[in-house]
Amino acid sequence: MDFREIANVEYLNQGDFACPGCAAGLSMRHALKVLGDETVIVMPASCWSIIAGGLPTTALQVPLMHVPFATAAAVASGVKNAFREKGEPKKNVVCWAGDGGTFDIGLQAISGAAERREDIIYVCYDNEAYMNTGIQRSSATPPGAWTTTTPTGNPLIFEKKDMFNIIASHNPAYVATTTIAFPDDFYAKFEKAKNAKGFRFIHLLSSCPPGWRIDSKDSVSAMRLAVETGIFVMMEKEGEQEIKVTYKPEKFKPVREYFKLQGRYKHLDEETINVIQERINKRLKKLNLL
Amino acid sequence: MESVEYNNVISEEDIKKFPISITTTEVNLTGSWRFSKPNFEEKISPCSVGCPANTNIPKYIFHLLKNDIKTAANILRDENPFPAVCGRVCPHFCQEKCNRKEYDGSVEIREIEKFVGDYALDIPYEKAQLKTNKRVAVIGGGPAGLSCAYFLAKNGYRVTIYEKENFLGGLLIYGIPSYRLPREIAQKEINNIIEMGNIEVKLNETVTFDRLQELKNSYDAVFFAGGLSKDRIPDNIELDNENVFSGYELLKKLNTNQSFAQKLKGEKIAVIGGGNVAFDVARTILRLGNEVEIIYRRTLQEAPSFEEEKAEGLEEGLKITEKSVVIKIVKAKKLNLTLGKVDKIVNKEVQLTGETENIEVDRLVIATGQAKEFEIEKDDKIFLGGDYEHGAKTVIEAIASGKTNAYKIIAHLENKPFYFMNEQDNFLRSKRDFDSYKVVDFKKINLFYFDKQPPLKTDKLPAKERIKGFKEVALKPALDKILNEAKRCFSCGVCNECKTCWFFCPDVCINVKDGVDFDYTYCKGCGLCSAECPRGVIDMVEDK
Ligand SMILES: Cc1cc2nc3c(=O)[nH]c(=O)nc-3n(C[C@H](O)[C@H](O)[C@H](O)COP(=O)(O)OP(=O)(O)OC[C@H]3O[C@@H](n4cnc5c(N)ncnc54)[C@H](O)[C@@H]3O)c2cc1C
Ligand SMILES: Cc1ncc(C[n+]2csc(CCOP(=O)(O)OP(=O)(O)O)c2C)c(N)n1
Ligand code: SF4
Ligand code: SF4
Ligand code: SF4
Ligand code: SF4
Ligand SMILES: [Mg+2]
């Protein structure tokens, strides 16, 4: 991707409260470059509620509504319909929520909105735990990962919830997974989401230096490795079309390389890593990637 | 960035009732969170270290890709006044060091250099100003002498070149054959140097040892770069310049005397030697319609000629007899040569197997090396350079030596230390200066940003076509191919304004324009810009 061709306009203000190297802030910055100024953000409790700045400040150049945890998709549906009634059908109403607010707490509202074919975009920035309240496990936390509520690692009996397929089973207008570490993929998917009509869902992998126990400078390379090792697969489904994997490396790297970079995995022994690697391989085979 | 002020849409009363933001997070000066800060520092690419003239390769490639070929040409010629020549004949030391070599093959720097160099042929240099009344004599108008004159003249010195022949250029004109280096190319680069001003040329002036002492008294400094013009001929062979020639002399004749060249046709000629001269003379007489056989005492693989030359020579039909020496010559109507098979060579001493072979040829050419015409000692006024000083090497090494000596002379005459920097026009002064620079090696390249793509392959004239005449062997690649190749360059250590750092800054603290500016008021010091810069330009440094 030629970064020189990206517009210089910024909708993210300086001075936000994101930790150094946080991918959630970075992802918002670029999502808004695609979505543009006709965008309204609806945001449940999450790190982003803090990143956005304390009253009376805001980190965004577009309107942002803070809403109760479980309600994002429901509020967004209402806002979108209000705009339509007002004669502003072009407004992009976008939920911007964490994994806790999506995989766990907001799920019923999301399912409802998807089933009603609400014309909104739902973005989940997934940092794989409840980061804002101190790194508690969520149903997006990968097996093996340390959190404050899984001090010896998230038990292997769990699997990261398959949000992509949960949404896909609602037959949405668009559903995709991506990460800002792959700028082309990220931009293309936000572009598609913006142009589609109906319920659209983007699941972003979003590194969190304190939660993942990584150096802030590695936060992009960590996400990149997640894709290159196949623990996170970038894919999409447009309307009725088949699921499409949008990035396949020449050869997948061993997941060990991804774990090595992160303190949250440092307690894993060889055997555990092998079990996880096997699960990844199984999924990749299912997706015809191995 | 402009702050959003909602005051005019929302009344003071409203604000009391609803929690609504009325200003931006720009009130939070997040720069105070920082422990280390990004620092923009361009570094040296390994290719620039490899190039004896230390050309700033990524920098001129950057300007070429920006569609500013004129600036590219200037950057290139700031270091080397012979890019069109070197783009053709240089053994590309730069490419040996290229970071891309380990990845998918070195960038074909030489082709890019040739392209920019050819473009520059028609761009005259800015007229040189006279800045001092000090005068320097340059003896020998080959690449070393011309390069020295160029850098001296550019820096305001008055130079007189004394050249033995009635033309300038040395081996560029009478050594390297025109199918590898078309005359007009070398000639144009020479003319551009002379037309820059401050240089007087005296042709047909052979400077003898005694004359040199005179010049030393009438000039402030003398640079001697007379090359190696004495033939080194094996003891058992005598030159007669009728049937038995020195390769160097024959090549000179063939390259400068058309009618002489026409005399050789349909003959069988043997060439002794394995260096560039042997191959060049052999390929030249092959083109004049003769049958040629190279006789070399070691194996072809060991022959010191450039690999490219050997391969092209074989394609053209050169016959090579390896591990053989001429042990006897009988002059009859033709020349009867007795070749002895070489068993091994110990300390330059040839040991024969005893096996022999007789061949009959019309003429014999001896290309077994050159030596100095006479010995000169360096002193505080006499500087030596080029092949004369460092032995038979290459054009770019002669140019580099001319450049280094020009700056040695300036430093000497101006009483400055040798390693003074002249920021205005030059990138690096000498190898030793590299110690104070950081070189960006392969490990520092962020490979994520580069897809694998094999290097450009240059087309050549088919061998059958080549031997019909003296057309240039290497064909010129089309513009899009050159630009594509230029895009393969990682631009190691040199910012090419790719904006990757800008893209990945989560805090909107980077502005890329003629370099990179950081907004330290808000930069949190995350280091992403530094980690993601594909080419190692940004370092994180401690910040108190
Ligand atoms: C056949 C051949 C092919 C080559 N091919 C290549 C190649 O492909 N690539 C490459 O990089 N290198 C090549 N080289 C080597 C390269 O040409 C030389 O290294 C380079 O030209 C040396 O430059 P120079 O200025 O030191 O000497 P020269 O080029 O030899 O120039 C010396 C000049 O001094 C003049 N001169 C000599 N004595 C006196 C005197 N007493 N008074 C006044 N003037 C004098 C000479 O006439 C000449 O003009 C080749 C060499 C030969 C012989
Ligand atoms: C109803 C309700 N329960 C709990 C909270 C406390 N809370 C605020 S943010 C947060 C964590 C959110 O986690 P996630 O959605 O993953 O976002 P992250 O902080 O990781 O970005 C919690 C539990 C709340 N604000 N509201
Ligand atoms: S002169 Fe030779 S070594 Fe220098 S850049 Fe050109 S090809 Fe490379
Ligand atoms: S990639 Fe470019 S800058 Fe780097 S060594 Fe090769 S030619 Fe030089
Ligand atoms: S990322 Fe690109 S623009 Fe930024 S410093 Fe590196 S080369 Fe320059
Ligand atoms: S990416 Fe931005 S915030 Fe991070 S160190 Fe660089 S300039 Fe500072
Ligand atoms: Mg979270």
Instruction: Tell me the ligand closest to B518's alpha carbon.
Output: 6
Q: pLDDT digits over A12-44, tens only?
A: 999 999 999 999 999 999 999 999 999 999 999
A99 touches ligand 2 (CB under 6 Å): yes
CA distance B63 to B396: 23
pLDDT digits (tens, 9 = 90+) for A217-229: 999 999 999 999 9
| Environment class of B95 (CB within 10 Å of its CB; exposed 0-12, middle 13-18, buried 19+) | buried
Higher pLDDT, B414 or A80: A80
pLDDT of res. B16? 74
Same domain flag for B208 and B335: no
Average pLDDT on A185-203 reads: 98
Lowest mean pLDDT among B5-14, B158-167, B241-250: B5-14
Query: What is the mean predicted confidence (pLDDT) over B14-33?
Result: 88
**Predicted confidence band at B431 (pLDDT cuts at 50, 70, 90)?**
very low
Residue B271 lies in a domain: yes
Q: Is A179 a member of any domain?
A: yes
Q: Is residue A132 within 8 Å of residue A22, measured between CB atoms?
A: no
B402 C-alpha vs ligand 1 centroid, how far in Å? 12
Amino acid at B31: G
Report residue B152 as tokens.
């001296």
List, chain by chain if needed, residues with CB within 6 Å of any ligand 1 atom: B 89-91, 139-145, 162-165, 170-171, 175-176, 206-207, 225-227, 229, 251, 276-277, 280, 386-388, 393-396, 398
Per-residue pLDDT tens digits for B269-280: 999 999 999 999
- In this prediction, residues A177-192 reach a mean pLDDT of 98
Task: Give how many domains chain B has, as a whole number.
Answer: 4
Average pLDDT over residues A259-285: 98
Does B130 map to a domain? Answer: no
Specify the pLDDT at position B415: 85
A1 occurs within a structural domain = no
Band (pLDDT 50/70/90 cuts) for residue B235 is confident
Average pLDDT over residues B319-348: 92
- Encode pLDDT of B402-427 as tens digits: 998 998 899 889 887 665 544 434 44
Q: Are residues B311 and B300 in the same domain?
A: yes
Q: What is the mean pLDDT of residues B446-455?
A: 96
Q: Cβ B20–A56 below 8 Å, yes or no?
A: yes
Confirm or reject: Cβ of B452 under 6 Å from ligand 5. no
- Same domain, residue pair B362 and B249: yes
pLDDT classification of B20: cutoffs 50, 70, 90: confident
Give pLDDT, residue A267: 97
**End position of a domain, from candidates B370, B387, B422:** B370
Residue B418 belongs to some domain of the structure: no
Let me know if residue B152 belongs to a domain: yes
Q: Judge whether B428 lies within some domain.
A: no
Are residues B178 and B73 part of one domain?
no
Domain endpoint, select from B370, B394, B421: B370
Mean pLDDT of B164-192: 97
Residues B208 and B288 in one domain: no
Buried b or exposed e, range B389-411, using 16+ CB within 10 angstroms: beebbbbbbbbbbbbbbbbbbbb
B27 vs A contacts (CB less than 8 Å): 15, 57
Q: pLDDT-derived band of residue B348, with 50, 70 and 90 as boundaries?
A: confident
Contact of B132 with B198, CB cutoff 8 Å:
no
Of the pLDDT bands very low, low, confident and very high (cuts 50, 70, 90), residue B264 is confident
Which tokens in the block code for residue B1?
């960035």
Alpha helices in chain A, H assignment, sequence order:
23-35, 47-51, 72-85, 107-115, 163-168, 183-195, 209-212, 219-228, 255-260, 270-286
pLDDT for res B234: 85
The CATH number covering residue A112 comes to 3.40.50.970
Residue B240: what pLDDT?
86
With left for phi above 0 and alpha for psi between -120 and 50, is residue A213 left, alpha or beta? left
Do residue B77 and residue B150 come from a single domain?
A: no
Q: Among B513, B2, B9, which residue's Cα sits nearest to residue A13?
A: B2
Assigned domain for A2 exists: no
Least CB–CB distance from A220: residue in B20, B23, B504: B504
pLDDT at position B426, please? 47
Residue B126 has a pLDDT of 96
The predicted-structure confidence for B352-378, as pLDDT tens digits, reads as follows 999 999 999 999 999 988 999 999 999
Residue of B437, B496, B535, B445 whose CA lies nearest to B102? B445
Chain B residues with CB-CB distance to A22 below 8 A: 506
Cα distance between residue B232 and residue B228, in whole Å: 10
Q: Which amino acid is at B227?
A: G
Q: For residue B275, which of B182, B391, B373, B183 has the smallest C-alpha distance?
A: B391
Is B431 among the domain residues? no
Residue B448 falls within a domain, yes or no? yes
Length of chain A: 290
pLDDT of the residue at B262: 80
DSSP states of A130-179: BTTTT-B--TTSPTT--BTTBTT---TT-----HHHHHHTT--SEEEEE-
Residue B4: band (very low, low, confident or very high) from pLDDT cuts 50, 70, 90? very low
Report the 10 Å Cβ neighbour count for B322. Answer: 17
pLDDT at B418: 60
Domain tally, chain A: 1
Shared-domain flag, residues B167 and B59: no
Report d(CA A177, CA B438) in Å as an integer.
40
Q: Are B215 and B187 in the same domain? A: yes
CB contact under 8 A, B506 and A25: yes
Residue nearest atom 2 of ligand 4, based on CA coordinates:
B489
Identify whether residues B256 and B387 lie together within a single domain: no
Ligand 1, closest atom to CA B225?
26
Q: Would the CA dihedral through B113, B303, B252, B406 be positive or negative?
A: positive
Protein residue whose Cα sits closest to atom 4 of ligand 3: B51
| Predicted pLDDT at B164 | 97
What residues form DSSP beta bridges with B371? B230
A 215-254 → B contacts, CB under 8 A: 215-221, 224
Do both B186 and B240 map to the same domain?
no
Q: Which residue of B has its CA nearest to A28?
A: B506
Kindly report the pTM of this predicted structure: 0.92
Give the Cα separation of B113 and B403 in Å (integer).
Answer: 19
Residue B336 has pLDDT above 80, yes or no: yes
Determine the average pLDDT of the residues in B27-37.
Answer: 96
Structure-token pair, residue B204: 């047909």
A203: containing domain: 7-286
Q: Render pLDDT for B193-224 as a digit per residue (tens, 0 to 9).
A: 999 999 999 999 999 999 999 999 999 999 99
Q: Residue B496's closest chain A neighbor by CA?
A: A4
What is the model's pLDDT at position B237? 84
- The CATH number of the domain holding residue B462 is 1.10.1060.10
Q: What's the CA dihedral at B156, B161, B167, B171 to 10 degrees?
A: -90
Q: What is the pLDDT, as a whole number, of residue B107?
A: 98
Confidence of residue B236 (pLDDT cuts 50, 70, 90): confident
B377 shares a domain with B405? yes
Number of the ligand 2 atom closest to the C-alpha atom of A102:
15
Report the CATH number at residue B514. 3.30.70.20
The rounded percent of chain B whose pLDDT value lies above 70 is 94
pLDDT of residue A177: 98
Task: Identify the domain containing residue B511 by its residue range.
Answer: 26-42+495-542
> Residue B511: its chain A contacts at CB < 8 A?
none
B218 and B300 together in one domain: no
Dist CA A279 CA B446 (whole Å): 30
Residue minimizing CA distance to atom 6 of ligand 5: B533
- Cα–Cα distance measured from residue B145 to residue B200, given in angstroms and rounded to the nearest whole number: 13
pLDDT at B239: 87
pLDDT tier at A73 (50, 70, 90 boundaries)? very high
